Structure 1
């Protein structure tokens, strides 16, 4: 599971403030924060770094899936975000789209910080302080996406629009987070 303290550090906050999503997610990856697998894969500046981290890392943490799998998960996330932004009304050039996707990424990282901090400070959620559940991750992605008019179902964890989120988590949550915390004690994003 995790490698200890999952609390958000001042350096992690600074990384997000400075738009350095690669450094933020790398720090979270070092703590074995499950969502950091995709976060880092999404924002790493050189896929050779991602390949090295996966190949030299704990295979159980990486769910016994290699570089190709996680690199595909990241790339499909970019396509999904671009499509979600377009569906939400954003129109722009390729470079404007890239910049807007980064804006979404910064907001997602800020929401991650907020949810981890809340989880950490309220030890009555799940089993491990700071380790989020699939529901918590879906909620913070939905909050971030709403700010950009991206429909909720463009979040990869809840992409079946007419299926309850809990059913989706059961169906395929293991694909991206086999080691997330339980949602016991979690009352939703407005708690």
Structure 2
């Protein structure tokens, strides 16, 4: 069993707003959601490619760089569209900064959810979040920016219950999430 707890160093990285190093640390622990987090915030596509090539193929769902790069890019698009739906109007540079603010909020909520998972002994493995837990903290973080919940990649369709969507689409980004809440 891997120690998925949030380390003091990871808390410090969040306090420093260093999303790249925070998600790299989570990636090295094989936190499932870190695949997208690191893909979003690493300095270059080559950094992501290197982590995939050198990493455990099972952790990466035996999917290569093009797949995970697409997942990261589509996440940025979803957040940007969500911000626009929320009324954000800004330049490309302003949109990048706002997406980064959202990313920082999501990272904090991820850390809090992992800590809550440990404290409440939820699921089958401490610190391993379920798709439902991940969806919930994304919705909370997004709401702080007025971003609609359907901007989260696991719950695109407002008319379809989230549980169904997470079952249908959740394995696209989290084949190894906890199966229980």
Relative to the length of structure 2, the TM-score reads: 0.98
User: Which residue of the partner structure matches residue 130 of structure 2?
Assistant: 133
Shift of residue 153, structure 1, vs aligned partner: 0.3
- Structure 1: gaps spanning 5 or more residues: 187-191
- Structure 2: gaps spanning 5 or more residues: none
5 Å-filtered alignment, 1:138-153, equals: 138-153=135-150
Aligned length: 181
Counterpart check, 1:159 vs 2:156: yes
Of residues 63, 70, 81 in structure 2, which corresponds to 1:65?
63
Name the stretch that deviates more: 106-115 or 11-20. Answer: 11-20
User: Which residue of the partner structure matches residue 189 of structure 1?
Assistant: none
Counterpart check, 1:182 vs 2:174: no
Relative to the length of structure 1, the TM-score reads: 0.93
The alignment yields a C-alpha RMSD, in angstroms, of: 0.8
5 Å-filtered alignment, 1:1-191, equals: 4-123=2-121, 125-183=122-180, 186=181
Query: After TM superposition, which residue ranges in structure 1, 4 or more long, deviate above 3 angstroms?
Result: none
